[in-house]
Each structure stands twice: as structure tokens, then as C-alpha cells.
Amino acid sequence: MTRRRRVYEGKAKVLFEGPEPGTLVQYFKDDATAFNGEKKSTVTGKGVLNNRISEHLMNRLTEIGVQNHFIRRLNMREQLIKEVEIIPVEVIVRNVAAGSICTRLGLKEGNALPRSLVEFCYKSDELNDPLIAEEHITTFGWATPRELDEIMNMSLRVNDFLCGLFTGIGIRLVDFKLEFGRYFNGDEMQVILADEISPDNCRLWDLETNEKLDKDRFRRDLGGVEAAYQEVARRLGIMPEGGPGDLKGSTAIQ
Ligand code: UDP
């Protein structure tokens, strides 16, 4: 196999140059990190599951017209995506109080918010992804007012759709993080959804028991991380080809 050029390595994913111009290969690792990289471990099979879960959710979003970077899954751990210029803003959508908003505002975890709330953080590990306002985004030119409008609309649309999808499989979508990028197609530029949507960047609670089916199991040392991710995949109807026994996936990445 020819050696591919590594374009970027993040905490949970690696991006390689794609087979055609304007494409990248997104490789999902088993590495898990929390608290801005202070806590590190590996969760066997996580990359395989996130690859599948993100594929499924991006495909469903494509079906309802939410443009995103996903092209097709290549294998157990890799997917082909459109190359975008990432907008350095993390968009957090919340339906229920959990995580940082509870400490920040003294809210009780688990209380439904009066309405869906969109927050923004500046994407910077160095600064620990600080919370920012829309004004910062436009003042510093991270996105134009028009792009921000588009991002806000898309985020709320994704939230409405995913809330329904997860409710249908007995899961409460508590909150999640999205990233967007600029996709250049000839003379046209479009803001599209990028990154991934998986239990790594969503809080997913069982509707009946409130059991956590997401990365909080890792963050809070609750155990059963891979079992929780598997349960999400199972309910979505997308367990990997070989079933739960086949979660290792290929480790050869080049
Ligand atoms: N999140 C993420 N990456 C980040 C920060 C947050 O994917 O760098 C997700 C997180 O998994 C959760 C939501 O965004 O679903 C809200 O996270 P929060 O601000 O509560 O931060 P946390 O408590 O995870 O530090």
C-alpha cells in the first residue's frame, strides 16, 4: 500500500490526504482523552464504533438536506470526507443541563433547559476552549455574520432532527458539540458540518433509567465505556460487520 501523507493528528482522529484532490481520509483511533488531554487512555473498539455511528448520523442528516463532509465509509476505521477549512469555533447545543454549564451557572444536572441553548467556544487547546459570544466570532473574523447565521440555523436543525431520532430509540440527547468548515467547490463556498457526531461528543442518556451512554463514562470513571458505545450502535441498528466481537478493526493505518 502506498504511504499516505498525514495532514493532521488530533486526540481521537487522524486525517490523511485523500485519493482525490479536495478529499481527506478520517481515521478513528481508540484513544480517549478528557479534561483537555489531562486524562488519557484507550478504549478498544471505540474508533470502529464512532466511525459507524458518525457515518449513520451524517447520512441521516444528508437525507434531510444538512450538508456535511461525509462522503463514504472506507473500512472499519476510516471514512472519506470532503476537505474543508475548519472554522475555529465549537458549537455546543444543549437541551438538558449537564457538564460545564452546571458548574458555570450552578444548575442541577438533569434539569431540562427552558429551550434549546446554543453556546460557542473558541477552538484552542492552549486556552482550554474558552466560552465566547457571537460578538467575538464576528469581531475576530472567525466567521462572518452570514456564516454564523448559517451555523446557528444548521445547529438547531441538527438538534431537532437528532432529538427525534434518539428519542425513537429510547435515548435523551442531552447536549452535543458540532464543528463546521468552509467547503470550496469551484467558485462556490459553502459552510458544511464537519468533524464527527458520536458518543465522544454527545451526551446520551437512556430515557428510562438516565444511564449514561457516552464519554462521561470515561470522564467520570464509570466503567463500561465500550459497552455503552456498543449499546448506542445496537439501538441505531448498526453494529459492526462481525458483531460486538469484531470491534478491534484494522490497526494498520498505512
Ligand atoms: N464537547 C466536546 N468537545 C469539547 C467540549 C465539549 O465534544 O471539547 C461535548 C461534550 O461531549 C458534551 C457537550 O459538548 O456532549 C458539552 O460539553 P461541556 O461544555 O459540558 O463540557 P464538559 O463537561 O464535557 O467539559
238 vs 143: CA distance, rounded Å: 35
CATH 3.30.200.20 is held by the domain 6-84+224-236:
yes
- For atom 3 of ligand 1, the residue with the nearest CA is 201
Q: Quick check: CB of 89 below 6 Å from ligand 1?
A: no
Q: Quick check: CB of 176 below 6 Å from ligand 1?
A: yes
Distance (angstroms) between ligand 1 centre and the Cα of 24 equals 25
148 vs 152: CA distance, rounded Å: 6
Which amino acid makes up residue 237?
G
34 vs 24: CA distance, rounded Å: 26
185 vs 176: CA distance, rounded Å: 28
Which phi and psi (to 5°) does residue 61 adopt? Answer: -65, -40
pTM of the model: 0.95
165 vs 176: CA distance, rounded Å: 14
Common-topology check for domains 6-84+224-236 and 87-206: no
Task: Give the pLDDT confidence of 54-66 residue by residue, as tens digits.
Answer: 999 999 999 999 9
Which amino acid makes up residue 250?
S
Task: Give the pLDDT confidence of 142-193 residue by residue, as tens digits.
Answer: 999 999 999 999 999 999 999 999 999 999 999 999 999 999 999 999 999 9
Boundaries of every domain in the chain: 6-84+224-236, 87-206
> Which residues are CB-neighbours of 98 under 8 A, at least 6 positions away?
109, 110, 174, 175, 203, 216
* Mutation pick for ligand 1 pocket among 54, 201, 216 (CB with most ligand atoms within 8 Å): 201
Question: What string of DSSP letters covers 134-147?
Answer: HHHHHHTTSS-HHH
Q: Which three cell numbers stand for residue 162?
A: 437528532
What dotted CATH number matches 87-206? 3.30.470.20
For the chain, residues with pLDDT lower than 70 are 1-2, 240-254
